Amino acid sequence: MTLLGLFAHRSPEEKALAIYIRSIFGFYPKNIALYQLAFTHKSKSEENVGSYHVNNERLEYLGDAVLSAAVADYLFRTYPTQSEGFLTEMRSRIVSRVSLNKLSQKLHFEDHIHYTADNSKFPSFRSLGGNVFEALMGAIYLDYDFDFAKHIIINRIIRDYIDLEDLQQTEINFKSRILEWAQKFKVKKHVEFRLLKEEELKNKKQFHVQIFIDDKPYADAIDYSIKRAEQSAAEKTLNMLTNNVSLSHESQGQK
């Protein structure tokens, strides 16, 4: 199909999204509605199908599996002599919520996500990007097939944006780093990861975790994995601690 034929019956918004998909992934969507859905957060659900609100959550669920499988296959072939533990850790680093959020910012997803910016009910854009990324992988899988989606993930994401050698050297176990930081004090600080809330959304559990240091609340995070929620909250807390000069000096002086 020619480009003119592909765009003939599309609205200006659909054309803009199709061109954007082409610019970052190298192909034009066949079913543009899938990609529009991938960029629609639940806060913008306006249409109901029975009891189902139309948003990107189902695509996110599917894309999570597609992304994980594609990355696992790529790592298995790239590192034929490495252990299962190494492969699992590398996959976790690539598909972590923190990594996907940062990648979505590089790709300027914020220009296309439909969501309600109500901080009392919904997260900021920074926490939406990773979910949209997974939803896009689900959209590509449905629009084409798994082999095509895997090709995009490997050739347009991993090879263009991820330095595997650098990733191997990156310390991303933020939870361990916080615990190590707490041990540096003469009077050791008590770090607690509290599960504030656990709820099930569309048969998928979501965990809200907050870090408390000596019973003082620090950063919190929400994720579909309690481990990822803890890691995300730990990373935010470490950033807070790094910027707190008095705490840094205190830890150095009380070893």
Q: Above pLDDT 70, what percent of the chain?
A: 82
- Residue written as tokens 């009891």? 51
Catalytic residues: 64, 134
Cα–Cα distances in angstroms (integers) from residue 141 to residues 17, 29, 67, 70, in the given order: 17, 11, 10, 11
- In terms of average pLDDT, the best of 16-25, 114-123, 174-183, 233-242 is 16-25
Confidence of residue 253 (pLDDT cuts 50, 70, 90): very low
pLDDT digits (tens, 9 = 90+) for 125-183: 556 788 899 999 999 999 999 999 999 999 999 999 999 988 887 655 788 878 888 88
Tens digit of each residue's pLDDT (9 = 90 or more) over 63-114 = 999 999 999 999 999 999 988 878 887 898 899 877 898 899 999 988 888 8
Amino acid (one-letter) located at 247? L
